[in-house]
Amino acid sequence: MENAAAEKRVTLLYVEDDAEIRERVVSILQLKFPQITLFVEKNGQDGFDLYRTHHPDIVLTDIRMPVMDGIRMAGEIKRVDKNALIIMLTAVSETDAILEAIDIGINHYVMKPVIMEKLIASVERCIEETKMRRQIRQQDETIRRMAYYDLLTGLPNRQMFSKLFHHALAHAQRHSRLLALLCLDLDRFKAVNDTHGHPVGDQLLQAVAQRLKQCCRRDQDAIARFGGDEFIILLSDPDSSQEAVRIARKIIAAFAVPFVLDGHELLISPSIGISIYPDDGTDEDTLVKSADMAMYCAKKEGRNRFHLFNS
């Protein structure tokens, strides 16, 4: 809960060299915006350094400051993040600076002497903009997950698998290395749904995904759900086909331990087919078909076993 609350907070960097003005503005900001995490610096260089480290949501800055003025700091920030939200405190007499700030793309201006109501209104608009951006990012992430990940297990789906495969294939082609695919199907999974119901079947699929993750721990490997009770495992850069055999045996041994779900103790076995690049195919479709054919051979041979495509 604490992490979720921290993520919702808005961060604001205030840069001002005048101690009296700085103290007054800080007290107003803390009073009016308790949801803000406030960073305060006294010159543009320190402000820019802090921005690069913390990337605050909003920047509020004066123009005239030592070491690095507000205009230059704003320009450096915009080069780092063109979408940075910046509020500039500026005097009417600073016409050239205002024009330069417009060219940089400053979001809001508050004239000095500062009228606090106008400053508060500018900060409020930036807070709303920050919240809207976060909402859009969250929606984009949700859409991305729906497009590339299986919603039940959280594993990559077929589309994401294809992306991962082509990345691994390019590496294998460049370095003359192997790839291995393990196509896995759960034996008699339909009986689980028929006997215990689909909710238990869904729980079983989720538990299977977790157990497969425990069997394949290398960062460069990938596990995907192709749909139903079919999973596929991509082993990148194995030393030989025996590495795929070792993983298959490890999975079969892991599945010998019953799954305990919703008060039910379920035993389910996998049938696994293995294909190897480049011997069994040089493209995704061929290798997947080869692994799939090998998996059906494993089922015909009695289930709860693996079969190499070329064996």
Q: Active-site positions?
A: 229
Note the maximum CA span of the chain: 88
Q: Give the number of other Cβ atoms within 10 Å of residue 95's Cβ.
A: 10
What phi, psi does 48 have (nearest 5°)? Answer: -65, -40
d(CA 77, CA 48): 7
- Look at strands 270-277 and 264-266 and give their pairing: unpaired
d(CA 147, CA 162): 12
In this structure, are residues 241 and 311 in contact, taking their beta carbons and an 8 Å threshold? no
d(CA 134, CA 129): 9
Instruction: List, in sequence order, the alpha helices (H) in the chain.
Output: 2-8, 19-32, 44-54, 70-80, 95-104, 116-148, 158-175, 189-196, 198-215, 241-254, 284-300
What is the residue-wise DSSP string for 35-68? Answer: TEEEEEESSHHHHHHHHHHH--SEEEEES--SSS
